[in-house]
Amino acid sequence: MALEEYKRKRKFDETPEPPPEIESKAGHRFVVQKHDATRLHYDFRLEMQGVLKSWAVPKGPSLDPGDKRLAMQVEDHPVSYFDFEGIIPEGNYGAGTVMVWDVGTWQPLSPVPVDGKYVPGTEAEAAAMLAKGDLKFRLDGQKLKGDFALVKMKGRRPGSKGTEWLMIKKHDEHEVQGYDIDAYDESVLSHRSLAEIVGDAGSAEWRSRPAGRGKLKAAWLADAVAKLDAKKSGIKPKSKKKA
């Protein structure tokens, strides 16, 4: 199973993280989670093949094409992890504070440019690029936008497990020279900083964006937030009537 490694590393009676369930419906969401664990890093996740394909990016993604960010591929995560924000207790794998730094949608790009520009690709092309180790994609998030590539590194050092990639921003209208990721320390869901999440006792539970901060444009995100807010308050969410 794609989530066996995720399941093996966690004790679900002790951690608020979601269970290892594979999503049957195809989707194209992405999330970047700022994770203050043993070392502060960012987790970049793409929804593919019913799971979140995941990379730990020590310095975080950049909108500057001149930055080539090391990205260590880690175990697949369940799709429900995309809006996990809170505290993983001590003694558990990845213990520390998790913030939802960015969310949005993504689309694969064709590996062959047309007139010097990358154009939308197919699911088959995305799977082939991932297997080859050269995945090109376009992000439409609240913080990250534009074309990117994840390129697998080969023969970087003796004993390497083959999990080392580079995350690179492509040149386009969304690039930002000298991009400073540290200037953006706020959750896109709860609008809290890491320090505020740490200071919130309720963050030991699976939290989402508090109600009353305006309407969320993305239906998938609004639905998830409503369900998690209802779970937090102990109220069962109303089911939608089918037309």
Give the pair of three-digit tokens for residue 204.
């030991």
Model confidence at 242, pLDDT cuts 50, 70, 90, reads very low
Give pLDDT tens digits for 219-236: 555 565 555 555 445 544
- Over residues 114-157, the pLDDT tens digits come to 888 889 999 999 999 999 999 999 999 999 999 999 999 986 66
User: In this structure, is residue 41 part of a structural domain?
Assistant: yes
Distances from the Cα of 92 to the Cα of 17, 33, 72, angstroms: 11, 18, 20
Domain that holds residue 33: 4-174+182-231
Q: Is residue 96 part of a domain?
A: yes
**Is the pLDDT confidence value at 216 over 60?**
no
Q: What is the rounded average pLDDT of the residues 49-73?
A: 96
Q: Is residue 101 part of a domain?
A: yes
DSSP 214: -
Are 120 and 149 contacting, i.e. CB atoms less than 8 angstroms apart?
Answer: no
In a domain, 240, yes or no: no
Tokens 């913080």 appear where?
143
Measured on CA atoms in the order 93, 99, 101, 107, is the torsion positive or negative? Answer: positive
Q: Answer yes or no: is 243 within a domain.
A: no
State how far the alpha carbon of 225 is from the alpha carbons of 176, 206, 215, 231, in Å. Answer: 31, 11, 11, 10
15 located within any domain: yes
Q: How many domains does the chain contain in total?
A: 1
Question: How much is the pLDDT for 221?
Answer: 54
For 13-24, the pLDDT digits (tens) are: 899 899 898 887
Does 136 reside within a domain? yes
Residue 241: inside a domain: no
